[in-house]
Chains A and B, each alone.
Chain A
Amino acid sequence: MCVFLTVEFFLPVLSFAQQAAPPAKAPEIQAQAQSEKIVAAPQNIKEASRIYVFLGWMWVSIAVLIYFLRLKIKEVDRLHEIKFFLPDKK
């Protein structure tokens, strides 16, 4: 389980780590600064694809976490039903 989690964890982090640093884009930045608008966007196709990978990973994680949370909810609801959490009234 730990190995599985580590792999899942490092995969998208590594993809981010390889991201090209933004500088060395001086002419493009100047051109943008002089134009009417600066449009927010990823700077190159590498960054763009990494962002899509991140979005995919995020939604997969959310789905997995919601699945686990539903299991936990079933568990604590059942425990509440059998009055597991209440202090013993003896």
Chain B
Amino acid sequence: MNLRRISRGAAAWFEERLGLNAVMELLKRKEVPQNKDTIWTYTGSLILLFFGIQVVTGIMLAFYYKPTLELANKSIGRIMTEVPLGWIIRSVHFWSATFMIAIAFIHLLSIWIIKSYRKPRELTWMSGVFLLVFTLAFGFTGYLLPWDDLSLAATKVGTDIPRSIPLVGVWVTKFLRGGDDISGDTLSRFFSFHISILPLCLLAVLCFHIYLIQKQGMSLPLGAQERVDKKRALPFWPNFVFREAIVWLIFSGVLITMAVLLPPSLSKAADLMAPAPEGIKPEWYFLFLFQTLKIFPPKILFVNGDTVAVLVIFAGVILFFCLPLIDNKPEQRKGKFITFAAYLFILYAVAMSVWSLLS
């Protein structure tokens, strides 16, 4: 009985019962078109790679992290100093978060610009917007967990913003904070969101997002001719997967290098009674929103400036969510304007972020 025969026998046993060869056949039949837009198809799976890294490093950190007011900061300090190579695991988790969010934005912008959300892929876009919201929520909730001055201040500001929404605002803030103010309950709540609620929500929507992509296939660029493109398409397995493997290797290498050479430090534990530290800023991915809020005057007509700002941003998000429905004539002027709007948004976000950093 040699190893090859045993493994073939085992595979056949499982195949008879699970029928998973069908999945492999699907992956072999699935095709990835080869055109000028193909490079952007690597962004989706990259997000998945970084999410996987987050889950693994997150689980490891959760083995030692203690989510209470008294011990949160101390337990991370212990991870960084006493647990073998703990500082590297924490650093990888920190950097993979940045990479994941950055690639998520790039993925979104590429879809916006090449208009992959056209019929029948509207739901893929909409579920994608949810995925982006969950990803940002991961970043927001995770940022509080070290419980140092900066994270407390950022969370105070961040959970205060919904308060300016009329009617429901106060309740949103209370729900996020577990009360009117930030306390140990806030930390427990954020931890629960970060390791339980958000992963479940993200996985559910992700399955839907990926199912749609498999079912509908890869989109073609605007104006492409299907027959011509089909000839040049590559099978997903093994051709595209090997190319993807190269991309994954390079990005993982960059991630590990940055994690090892630029690890995050830990400030001392937050003091709920202390005044806010100077120059607090949210993480880089919230800077443009933070600056947007700042440029609104305190009062517009008779309405609170913050309320107007939050409502404007909220309206923007709704428009954004409905983009495939709005862009129903992609080749015409409206469609061209929407593409131009993507570049405008990039310019705006970068400008606002830089302004926020420098001020």
Contacts and interface: CB of A to CB of B under 8 A. Distances in A.
Given A29-B81, A38-B77, A73 B253 contact: no
A62 B260 contact: no
Interface of B: 28, 74, 77, 80-84, 87-88, 90-91, 234-235, 238-239, 242-243, 245-246, 249-250, 253, 256-257, 260, 263-268
Contact of B249 (A33, A41, A66, A77): A66
Nearest to B76: A38
Interface in A31-66: 32-33, 35-41, 43, 51, 54-55, 58-59, 62, 65-66
A27 to B, nearest CB: 12
Q: Is the interface of B mostly helix, strand, loop or mixed?
A: helix
A40 B239 contact: no
Contacts of A39: 265
B263 A40 contact: yes
Contact-residue size bin, chain A (C-beta under 8 Å from the other chain) = 20 to 34
Closest 4 pairs between A and B when the two form their complex, measured CB to CB:
A40-B263, A40-B87, A38-B266, A39-B265
A70 B81 CA distance: 41
B266 A40 contact: yes
B242 A40 contact: no
A44 B82 CA distance: 13
7 contacts: A29-B82, A35-B268, A37-B265, A37-B268, A38-B81, A66-B249, A72-B238
Contacts of A37: 265-268
Interface string A14-29: 0000010111010001
